[in-house]
Structure formats: C-alpha cells, structure tokens
C-alpha cells in the first residue's frame, strides 16, 4: 500500500517533468517521418514504418528510463526531500521499490502513447494486413521488459552515484548488453581458460539486451509467410530473464540504499 | 517512560579525499527527555544538534551509543507512526502543492480520506498557508517552505515532535506563530524536542534545555538556572539627577555612565539596586528603568568557547 503511494507520487513527479514531453514529441515525430521514408522504398512501406517505429519506441523508452532513472534517488538526496520522508513510517526498501514501480508505470504510459502513434501511422499508410497490428504487441511487450531492466540498472547507480556518472555506467552496460552474446562466442574461441571464465562471468553479469530483440519487423509483418512467426517459448524465457535480472538489481539498490547514511 | 533516551551517542564523520580523517560531530551524548516536556537543544553552529536529530531519525547510524524514542529503538518503523520531524532547512517536492504533499504524507501514515482532508485544512490554517494551499511549492519562499515543514511534521498528531531550527527563515510574526504552535503541542501533552540558537524563543517555551558545543553536552537543566550563574547585576537608568545626589550615590555603584540628560548606573546586587533607586528618587531624580543584566546565549557561548 505504502509502495503504491510512493509509486503514485513518483509517477506524478515524472509527468510534471518537461524532459518527458520533449522525448515523447521526438519519438512521435520520428514515427511520423517513417511515412516519408517508406515512400522511398517502394513496396516496403510497412516494413520501414514498423522498423522505425519499434526502433523509436525502444530508443526513446531507453532514453526516458535512463534520464529519469538516474536522478530517481539522487534528486531526493540532493534536494534533501528524503529526510522528511524517511522519518515517516516507511521502510527504506518500500521507498526504493515505490520509486522503481512509479517510473515503470511512467514508462508503460509513454510506451503506450508511442505504440498508439505507431499504429495510427500504419493506419494512415493503409493496406496493412490486420494481423500486423496484433503482432506489434509482443514486440512492444519485449521493449517494455528491456526498459524494466534498464530502469533497474539506472536505479542501482542512482543510489550511490551522481546522475552524470550513472548515465555513463547505465549507457555503457546497455550498449555492452547488445554484444553480450558475441562476447560469449569470443570466450568459447579463446584458448586460455582464464579468458573463457572471464567472458562467461561478464555474460551473466551484463544484461542481455539482445534477448529483448527476438521479435523484429519480419516476425510482425510476414506472419503468414512463416509457420511460427513469433516464438512464444522464447518470449516466456525472456520474461523470466527480465524479471529475475531486474529483481536482483532492485535487491542490490535496496541493499545499498538501506545501508547508507544521509548526511 | 521517558519519551527520548539517549545513551553515549557518538558520531564520527569521515572527511578528506585521500586520507580519511574522522571528525567527531557528536561525543558521548547522554540525556533523557520525559513525556510532555518541551526540551530545547541549544548550541552554536557545528555543535552537533543536527547530527543528533539525524541519529534519532535513523537517517545516519551512530559510531557508538544508542537511542530510544517512546521506548523503541530508533530504527523501529512502527515507532515512527507516533513522531514528527522537521529537518533543518527543509525542502519538499517542488512539483507538489502543500495540499498534495500533505495528502501524500498523510496517506503514508494510513490516515483515511475524509479525516485527512479535514486535518490538512486545519493544519494549513494553523501554519498560515490556507491561501497558498493550491500553489506549487517551487513558488514558495523559504519561510513558507518552513511552514509546510512544520505542517508535515504534525500531520499524524505525533506524541513526540522533533524540530531542527524551527524558527529559521521566519520573520518575527512567523516566529511568534511557531511559538504558539509549540505551546499548543504542550497543551495537547506532546513532547517537543527542538534545536535552536535563538534565546528569546527558547526562553519563552522550554522546560529544560541542553547546551551543546563541539559535539559535547555542556549543561543540562532549566535555562535560567544555567544562565543566572553567569552574570548578575542590574542596570538603572535615571533622569534629572542633581550633581549632589549623584555624588552621594557614587560609592554604591559599580559603574556610572553619563549620557546627555540621563545617567546609566550598574549595580552589583538587587539589594544595592533597590537602595540606589530609593535614594535617587527621594533626592528628586526620575526613574526611567531598571533591568536585570543577564548573559545572552551568545555571550554564554562566547565565554564557553573562549574557555575551551
Ligand atoms: N556530512 C558531514 N560530513 C562531515 N562532517 C560533518 C557532516 N555533517 C556534520 N559534520 C560536522 O559535524 C559537526 C556538527 O554538525 P551539525 O550537527 O550540523 O551541527 P549543528 O546542527 O549544531 O550546527 C560540525 O563540525 C560539522 O562540520
Ligand atoms: Mg544544525
């Protein structure tokens, strides 16, 4: 109950932040501009719109997650709003979890707005198979899962580091997360056992962001051409992975936050 | 049961980038505040007042020692249902209005809607913010934020209230209002523990005070008992004093200062002051005023700091 109260306040704080509107506006402009780009590629309009649309949702969602996530806790410390609040009957883990859920809800709403923008763009384009709209949903769901992980990463850093450094760390891990599978491959080729071991550790520690890209425009658009266009088993595994990974990060954030002094 | 029990509480901060040297902000503080007391926690800047309050709120952890509030250890979350806290130079979410902030905090206490609504209006009235209740806090002056801070500390009708420099940032009118709020807390039977370095505020309100300096407790007791020892004497101001009368008074006075048509006289004891006044008045002088000379808290601190 208290967690939800804290979450609601975080959501309200987020939606009164200008940065959010700027990012959403940009995302919607990107998605709209895909109509123009689509015209240049005769016959592939839908693919261009879906590619650009899903890409925009992912990129701008990540930007929102990082920009708001890194200051989520830091701002409360910097502005000293946390002093009065933590003297109330709440546990520190409730505070952190509430903040996290509040930002996740903000992201959910934002992604929904961007997704609506994408669907309207497809509708405007016209001549798109009906199942395409339905197939967009699992792809957007995966994006949300990846945002859950990115937000948790930003949250961990924001409990002990400045926004600039947190942004750097989070962004670095997010990029590294795209090449994670390659890293494992590289390790397997390596001769020295030490290197093999090291790449394996990195593989598990760094978030596997590429996991969240198991659905792309081909699965969405050409459903009829493939027997099983969307791999629901993979979807299930990625869900488990996303929840576990974020859960562990949230636990780390709580641990750091619970131990620290508020000087 | 004591409202607040502090035992050998000590806090070191580590400063310095390369070689971390400890700074002892609080050094073995022990004290007890009984339920229903208004307790003043005094000391110059850097005395360790804020550090003590933060330790009591479990915002920082002690290096040594312990403290209990209402019989519970300071990390007890359930105990915090019954306390209120105003941080030093408070700051709140500036995207919220006072009404929204108090609703948020009241909800954390589990206060139900209709009761909470009424309570909020009442509190905003008390701290003089009824008109500004729909204004975002970013538009507030320091004094107004301070008032919001006092309101949020009282939302749950706390049994024990901790106020860190509650008068800071307030104009004289605001200070008077806060004094009234604290007095009304006394009437309700609440315990108030507040830090300050402003003497008249403390003098008017406190049952007992602790005086701190450099993290150490210097004195504990009723304020007047503590200050009375330091300086006594009275200042008498007379007008229309004939030269002959003045000469007659001279042996009784500690010090005589002539100021245009007035004479300022310092008497060592109250008995002597009485004698001077009666002799002067019977000699035809006019009594302008008699005032006890008391060390101010500032002077007291100054003396103590010089000693150490
Ligand atoms: N976060 C901190 N880091 C290092 N030193 C601190 C910190 N906070 C307080 N101090 C030091 O502890 C001492 C007591 O400070 P404080 O409790 O704020 O005093 P007061 O509230 O009585 O003015 C001061 O010497 C101050 O410099
Ligand atoms: Mg202070």
The mean of the pLDDT values for chain A is 86
Check: CB of residue B9 under 8 Å from CB of residue B55: yes
CA distances from A183 to A50, A161, A174, A196, B10 (A): 29, 27, 14, 10, 50
- Does the structural domain B2-227 have CATH classification 3.40.50.300? yes
The predicted pLDDT at position B16 comes to 67
Q: Find, among B87, B77, B205, B132, the residue nearest to A79 by Cα.
A: B87
The predicted pLDDT at position A124 comes to 86
The predicted pLDDT at position B255 comes to 85
| Mean pLDDT computed over A61-88 | 91
- CB proximity under 8 Å: B 185-204 to A: none
Residues of A with CB below 8 A from B90's CB? 80, 83-84
Hey, is B73 helix, strand or coil? strand
B89 at interface of A, judged by CB pairs closer than 8 A: yes
| Mean pLDDT computed over A33-43 | 79
Task: State whether A83 and B87 contact (CB < 8 Å).
Answer: yes
Out of A89-103, A106-120, A186-200, B172-186, least confident range: A186-200
Task: State whether B60 and A85 contact (CB < 8 Å).
Answer: no
CA atoms within 13 A on the CB side of A127: 7
Backbone angles phi, psi at B282, to 5 degrees: -70, -25
| Mean pLDDT computed over A2-8 | 95
% of residues, chain A, pLDDT over 90: 39
CATH 3.30.70.980 domain locations along chain B: 230-307
A12 at interface of B, judged by CB pairs closer than 8 A: yes
Q: Is residue A178 part of a domain?
A: no
Q: How many domains does chain A have?
A: 1
Q: Is residue A149 part of a domain?
A: yes
| Mean pLDDT computed over A133-151 | 90
pTM of the model: 0.85
The predicted pLDDT at position B87 comes to 96
A172 at interface of B, judged by CB pairs closer than 8 A: no
> Quick one: pLDDT band at residue A134, thresholds 50, 70, 90?
confident
CATH class, domain B230-307, is: alpha beta
Residue A263 in contact with ligand 1 by CB distance below 6 A: yes
Q: Which residues of chain B have pLDDT under 50?
A: none
Q: Which domain holds residue A150?
A: 2-164+209-259
Q: Does residue A224 carry a pLDDT above 70?
A: no
Hey, is B245 helix, strand or coil? helix
- Give B50 Cα–ligand 2 centroid separation in angstroms: 4
What are the strands, taking DSSP E only, across chain B?
2-15, 21-34, 38-42, 64-69, 72-73, 83-86, 160-164, 191-196, 208-213, 216-221, 234-239, 255-259, 262-267, 286-292
Q: Is residue A171 part of a domain?
A: no
- Give A229 Cα–ligand 2 centroid separation in angstroms: 64
């Amino acid at each position: 109950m208290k967690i939800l109260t804290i979450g609601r306040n975080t959501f309200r704080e987020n939606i009164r932040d200008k940065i959010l509107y700027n990012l959403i506006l940009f995302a919607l402009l990107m998605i709209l501009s895909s109509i123009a780009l689509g015209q240049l590629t005769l016959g592939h309009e839908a693919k261009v719109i879906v590619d650009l649309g899903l890409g925009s949702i992912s990129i701008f969602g990540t930007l929102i997650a990082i920009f708001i996530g890194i200051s989520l806790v830091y701002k409360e410390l910097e502005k000293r709003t946390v002093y009065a609040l933590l003297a109330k009957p709440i546990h520190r883990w409730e505070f952190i979890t509430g903040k996290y859920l509040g930002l996740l809800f903000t992201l959910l709403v934002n992604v929904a707005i961007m997704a609506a923008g994408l669907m309207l763009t497809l509708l405007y384009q016209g001549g798109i198979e009906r199942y395409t709209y339905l197939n967009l949903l699992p792809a957007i769901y995966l994006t949300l899962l990846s945002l859950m992980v990115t937000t948790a990463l930003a949250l961990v850093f924001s409990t002990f580091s400045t926004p600039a450094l947190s942004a750097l760390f989070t962004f670095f891990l997010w990029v590294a997360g795209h090449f994670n599978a390659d890293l494992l491959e590289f390790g397997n080729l390596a001769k020295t056992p030490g290197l093999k071991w090291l790449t394996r550790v990195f593989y598990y520690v760094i978030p596997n962001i590429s996991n969240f890209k198991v659905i792309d425009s081909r699965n969405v658009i050409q459903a009829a051409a493939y027997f099983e266009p969307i791999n629901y088993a993979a979807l299930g595994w990625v869900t488990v992975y996303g929840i576990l990974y974020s859960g562990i990060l949230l636990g780390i954030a709580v641990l750091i936050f619970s131990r620290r002094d508020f000087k | 049961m004591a409202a607040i029990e502090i035992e050998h509480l000590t806090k070191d901060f580590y400063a310095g980038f390369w070689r971390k040297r400890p700074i002892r902000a609080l050094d073995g503080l022990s004290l007890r505040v009984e339920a229903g007391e208004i307790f003043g926690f005094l000391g110059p800047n850097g005395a360790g007042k804020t550090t003590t309050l933060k330790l009591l709120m479990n915002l920082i952890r002690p290096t040594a020692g312990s403290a209990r509030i209402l019989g519970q250890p300071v990390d007890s979350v359930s105990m915090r249902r019954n306390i209120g806290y105003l941080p030093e130079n408070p700051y709140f979410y500036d995207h919220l209005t006072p009404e929204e902030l108090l609703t948020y905090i009241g909800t954390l206490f589990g206060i139900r809607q209709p009761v909470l609504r009424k309570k909020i209006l009442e509190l905003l009235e008390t701290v003089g913010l009824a008109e500004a209740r729909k204004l975002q806090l970013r538009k507030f002056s320091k004094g107004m934020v301070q008032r919001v801070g006092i309101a949020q500390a009282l939302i749950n009708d706390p049994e024990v209230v901790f106020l860190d420099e509650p008068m800071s940032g307030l104009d004289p009118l605001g200070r008077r209002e806060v004094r009234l709020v604290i007095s009304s807390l006394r009437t309700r039977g609440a315990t108030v523990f507040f830090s300050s370095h402003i003497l008249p505020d403390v003098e008017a309100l406190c049952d007992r005070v602790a005086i701190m300096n450099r993290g150490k407790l210097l004195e504990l007791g009723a304020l007047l008992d503590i200050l009375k020892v330091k300086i006594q004497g009275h200042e008498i101001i007379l007008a229309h004093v004939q030269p002959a009368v003045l000469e007659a008074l001279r042996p009784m006075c500690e010090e005589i200062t002539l100021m245009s048509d007035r004479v300022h006289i310092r008497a060592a004891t109250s008995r002597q002051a009485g004698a001077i006044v009666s002799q002067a008045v019977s000699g035809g002088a006019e009594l302008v005023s008699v005032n006890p000379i008391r060390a101010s808290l500032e002077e007291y601190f100054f003396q103590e700091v010089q000693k150490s």
